[in-house]
Structure 1
Amino acid sequence: MATPTLAPGAQLPQATTDDDVEAVPLRRPWRWISAVIVLAIVAWFVATIATNPNLDFGTVGSFIFDARIISGVWLTILITVVSMVVSTILSVVIAAMRLSSNPVLSSVAWFYVWAFRGTPLLVQIVLWGYLGLLFDRVRVGIPFTGVEFWSIDTNTLVTPLVAGLLALTLNQAAYSSEIVRAGMVSVDEGQREAAYSLGMSPLYTFRRVLLPQAMRVIIPPMGNELISMLKNTSLLSVIAVLELYTQASIISSSNLKQVELLIVVSVWYLFMTSLLSIPQYYLERRFGRGSSRNLPPTPFQRLRGALNKRKPGPAPAPPTMITEVVGE
């Protein structure tokens, strides 16, 4: 019996029968109904805010880039960055102390976390702001001997800004240390044993073997803590630190536009938190490379893929006819 031989690139026509099954997508009417309801609620909310006669949007626009607001934004960013960097370094030290076999180190670290996590952040800010009521001067010398090498007025050294930095940093270090400790515990114990078998010291093992692997677990909650730190700077208004919320409160106390200034503050906080989410996203991708074979595409990669799909592709090659028939 003759067997047809196809030229390179040729395809045989596919046979069609009357028994072919046509796939019909499952209908989900409630998906569209719920989407319409949600869009209607959002449209109602936006229309209510936009047509509210009690809101002066002109005031919002005039103060969104006010010099006092901008200075508060920069101070908020400065406090957030300094507090987060110092608290992260301190949290690594505290986590290492918690995991240490030395009972003194582990006990001191436990007490630190217990004390700072167990009291409200607002109380800690006020206590640091009122430190001058407890100690009139900060002295460096030999205790119980009267020998004093250096002394300074407490209120001169611990200004409201310094008090706010101390409160935010020490409080955040307690929370971040538990995140770091959880990340360290998530690393397989065999990694530590293998490092010790190679002659690595505990500190070197912690720094070069355990910590890099724990970053995959540490980065997501630390990103959330960074955003929380940014918003917690508004609590420093109780000790008169001129950050964003304090500046807006000062302005609103003079023009009685409290709601409008709160909208200005909210817009700036939303903008800053959106910017901080970008490096968090890419850090999660970087440290998650070893746990996933295929990382999900970034938003830019999705956009580029969508644009490439819209471009017309090359025209298909015409079918090639059968050129040779080989018989028996």
Structure 2
Amino acid sequence: MAPILFVVVAFPCTVGAMALAVLHIYRHLLNYTEPTYQRYIVRIIFMVPVYAMMSFLSLIRSDHSIYFNSIREIYEAWVIYNFLSLCLAWVGGPGAVVLSLSGRSLKPSWYLMTCCFPAIPLDGRFIRRCKQGGLQFVILKPLLVVITFILYAKGKYKDGNFSVDQAYLYITIIYTVSYSMALYALALFYVACKDLLRPFNPVPKFIIIKSVVFLTYWQGVLVFLAAKSRFIRNAEEAADLQNFVLCVEMLAAAVCHFYAFPYKEYAGANVGASGGLRGSLFHALKFNDFYHDTVHQFAPTYHDYVLYNNNQRE
């Protein structure tokens, strides 16, 4: 188990983060008047209890941390996909985006790392590439987890071991490339559609998603590199530090979610039909949209990208 001080501080932070997140989700489900949007919002808020619980379990059961961390990382991929889907839903779906941005393009830019490429037309192909960028991470991450478990059972994988004889180095490289592609696709979509997204106040939402997902990932990489460089005694201490910090950070994230995704925006609205608390939760947790989206985005039979609007996706 991790140092007792870490556990003592992490426990109330974990409980507080989970309580706030569950309350927030409950409020959204009670005011589930915009299912098209709130489905994704509820899934995003679930990130807090998943991260907090898995990090705390990793602290007190460090011998099984690889399993808890894997659940957390799979949900990380799920959050990126759902935030991109939420942004797309806000602007009415790919068809609405293409109609609104018809004839426009994303000019070469050094900060988007497109300065050496021609302008990118904002058409159906662009939207499809953005969705594929998010989906590939959601699909690849569980596969990497299965491979990790197999290698771990064979003694070929250990967290924080960057040796060329261990799989951690290679899994991390593959994961980083896939992860970066997903975040890059999200950034491109945001820059291209920021004028369309402005009425939905996306900046605080974008910041908190990027902070939790981006910073926690690189935070983990950095603490393991610190252990490799002997700034931290060993990989076990690095893992304990990472999990402890995540427990504390999730309490802050739970508070920030209340401001970034307020349920009051949907309270009292008459748009959409609520099927009660259970029906709302069932709708939010159904994966049918992900399945259809995956088939739609990657189907080799599509010679031309088929566009849809939100009312065609419910």
Regarding TM over 0.5, the answer is no
TM range (shorter): under 0.3
TM-score (norm 2): 0.26
> Which has a greater percent of strand?
1
TM-score (norm 1): 0.26
